[in-house]
Amino acid sequence: MIQNVTILGATGSIGVSTLDVLARHPERYSVFALTADRKWQILATQCLQHNPRYAVLNDEAAALALAEELRRQGCKTEVLQGEDALAQVASHADTHVVMAAIVGAAGLLPTLAAVKAGKKVLLANKEALVMAGGLFTRAVADHGATLLPIDSEHNAIFQCLPNHRADFLANGLQSSGVRKILLTASGGPFRNTPIADLKNVTPEQACAHPNWSMGQKISVDSATMLNKGLELIEACWLFNTRPEQVQVVIHPQSVIHSMVEYVDGSVLAQLGNPDMRTPIAHALAWPERIPSGVASLDIIATARLDFSAPDYERFPCLRLAQQAAARAATAPTILNAANEVAVAAFLQRKIRFDQIAQVIATVLDKQEVIEPDSLALVIASDQKARQLAQSVIASF
Ligand code: NAD
Ligand code: MG
């Protein structure tokens, strides 16, 4: 049966890669709904090419412009607008698969809507899981949703873990003979920059990732390595493990996407070219395999693979995330919200690169950590952290 796919965040880096993979397999997949924040021209081109039943924009003026353009072109796609419409297409009875690729906390509610409708959810939007991990994973279990990781590291770990997922999801990874997860990180564009120079780096330099082409926010997160911290928290929720069982390893070539070590000493790794179409194709077709368009890995040209330990003086955000992971409760929610505000301010040139860590540290220091037993409490913690972060930025 043809699978209907909704893409939340279709105009972004992951959204575009997903459409590329889907277009290679018209006999398996049909594009059901495409959504974006406000870039209606890109969404119009995508609608004309893929003919979805629905297109959703967050922004009202953009939605009107899209509807007008599609009418002019004779495209039958129905245009909807607003946050409720995102949740509506994500949970629609005719949607089978939802790619959750909105960036940041804005993705939480539509992704949860897909989970609560029991969909197959392909999770790129790591912030949603970091922000509300307990509620999110409980909703997956309660509603029989299938959650598959798109983040390349987590997709690699998923491929290296045992198949009897129900066991370790119920009893923890250790019960399945796993000793630890080795979470690899490229080290980003500033791996070798003198630490004193990090004060003066620009958004353009921070967004120029050596191995991956990605959205601006995750590019800055990779440069601070807060991204690896978010991924550590993401791994704990996805695979029911503890932060101490996850070792962050710098691996500049980004050829090994992560590894799993077992108690017998075996270490399994997943390798491939750094191209998100591999994890996207893997998750779309799982447990089958389909071509993704990614070139074969030239292992001879790769020649060498290097590994080192992260330097916490260079990457204070990684330490902050590890501490938040250990504290748990709403500490990751606060970390994520403060970071989103700080990264936006850095991209607008309101703060320096090294001040991102200062904002997060100050907010984590000031805000009380509580047990997040409802979505309302999670959202309130997120909002409070955003306000505190704004006031820290104003005080610089
Ligand atoms: P991006 O900035 O390129 O795209 C973001 C998408 O989200 C766009 O379609 C945008 O329109 C939409 N969006 C933004 N704000 C929105 C809002 N308020 N409401 C509705 N839609 C909104 O980002 P990206 O690089 O594609 O990353 C998307 C997610 O995937 C992030 O959570 C990121 O951490 C994760 N991820 C990305 C990569 C990658 O290679 N790009 C790898 C791993 C994980
Ligand atoms: Mg990643």
Q: Is residue 319 in some structural domain? A: no
Q: Which of 14, 39, 222 to mutate to test the pocket of ligand 1 (most atoms within 8 A of CB)?
A: 14
Which tens digit of pLDDT belongs to each residue from 134-144? Answer: 999 999 999 99
Q: How far is CA 163 from CA 175, 176, 215, 287, in A?
A: 13, 10, 32, 10
Final residue belonging to a domain, choices 149, 170, 196: 149
Q: Which residues of 144-163 are buried (b: 16+ CB within 10 A; e: fewer)?
A: ebebbbbbbbbbbbbbbbee
Average pLDDT estimate for 21-25: 98
pLDDT surpassing 90 at residue 163: no
Final residue belonging to a domain, choices 95, 114, 149: 149
CA angle 284, 285, 290 (to 5 degrees): 115
Q: How far away, in angstroms, is 34 Cα from ligand 1 center?
A: 13
Instruction: Quote the mean pLDDT of the chain.
Output: 97
Q: Is residue 79 in some structural domain? A: yes
In terms of domains, do 261 and 392 share one?
Answer: no
Residue 14 marked in a binding site: yes
Q: Is residue 74 in some structural domain? A: yes
In the chain, the number of structural domains is 3
Q: Which residues of 60-80 are buried (b: 16+ CB within 10 A; e: fewer)?
A: eebbebbbebbeeeebebebb
In terms of domains, do 263 and 124 share one?
Answer: no
Q: Which of 218, 220, 225, 230 to mutate to test the pocket of ligand 1 (most atoms within 8 A of CB)?
A: 218
What pLDDT is recorded for position 169? 87
Range of the domain at 25: 3-149
Which ligand ends up closest to the CA of 102?
Answer: 1
Which tens digit of pLDDT belongs to each residue from 311-351? Answer: 999 999 999 999 999 999 999 999 999 999 999 999 999 99
In terms of domains, do 306 and 361 share one?
Answer: no
In terms of domains, do 127 and 205 share one?
Answer: no
Q: Is residue 168 in some structural domain? A: yes
In terms of domains, do 360 and 305 share one?
Answer: no
What pLDDT is recorded for position 345? 98
- Tokens representing 219 are 């590019």
Q: Whose CA is nearest to atom 36 of ligand 1?
A: 124
Which ligand ends up closest to the CA of 101?
Answer: 1
What pLDDT is recorded for position 21? 99
Q: Is residue 324 in some structural domain? A: no
| Residue 310, preceding peptide bond in cis (omega within 30° of 0) | no
Q: Is residue 323 in some structural domain? A: no
CB 104 within 8 A of CB 126: no
Q: Which atom of ligand 1 is nearest to the CA of 10?
A: 9
Q: Is residue 247 in some structural domain? A: yes
Report which of residues 209 and 149 the model is more confident about.
149
In terms of domains, do 175 and 302 share one?
Answer: yes
Residue 11 marked in a binding site: yes
Percent of the chain scoring above 70 in pLDDT: 100
Average pLDDT estimate for 120-132: 98
For strands 29-36 and 54-57, give the pairing: parallel
Final residue belonging to a domain, choices 313, 341, 364: 313
In terms of domains, do 167 and 144 share one?
Answer: no
The 10 Å Cβ neighbour count of residue 84 is 12
φ/ψ of residue 220, rounded to 5: -65, -40
CB 59 within 8 A of CB 38: yes
Q: How far away, in angstroms, is 244 Cα from ligand 2 center?
A: 19
What pLDDT is recorded for position 378? 98
For strands 3-8 and 78-81, give the pairing: unpaired
The ipTM assigned to this model is 0.99
CA 386 to chain centre: 20
Q: How far away, in angstroms, is 115 Cα from ligand 1 center?
A: 18
In terms of domains, do 157 and 277 share one?
Answer: yes
In terms of domains, do 159 and 298 share one?
Answer: yes
Which tens digit of pLDDT belongs to each residue from 248-288? Answer: 999 999 999 999 999 999 999 999 999 999 999 999 999 99
Supply the DSSP symbol for 197. G
In terms of domains, do 195 and 116 share one?
Answer: no
Look-up: residue for tokens 């969404």?
Answer: 43
Q: How far away, in angstroms, is 103 Cα from ligand 1 center?
A: 3
In terms of domains, do 201 and 304 share one?
Answer: yes
- CATH code of 388's domain: 1.10.1740.10
Which tens digit of pLDDT belongs to each residue from 175-187? Answer: 889 999 999 999 9
Which tens digit of pLDDT belongs to each residue from 210-247? Answer: 888 899 999 999 999 999 999 999 999 999 999 999 99
Range with lowest mean pLDDT among 155-169, 286-300, 334-348, 369-383? 155-169
Residues 6+ apart with CB under 8 A from 106: 37, 58
Average pLDDT estimate for 20-34: 98
What pLDDT is recorded for position 224? 98
Look-up: residue for tokens 């440069």?
Answer: 223
- CA separation for the pair 27, 2 (Å, rounded): 7
Percent of the chain scoring above 90 in pLDDT: 95
Beta partners for residue 35, in sequence order: 8, 56
Q: Which residues line ligand 1 (CB under 6 A)?
A: 9-15, 36-37, 39, 58, 101-103, 106, 124-127, 151, 212, 214-215, 217-218, 276
pLDDT surpassing 90 at residue 167: no
Residues 6+ apart with CB under 8 A from 314: 190, 191, 195, 198
- CATH code of 90's domain: 3.40.50.720
In terms of domains, do 232 and 374 share one?
Answer: no
Q: Is residue 318 in some structural domain? A: no
CA 67 to chain centre: 29
Q: How far is CA 160 from CA 73, 112, 153, 156, in A?
A: 47, 27, 11, 6
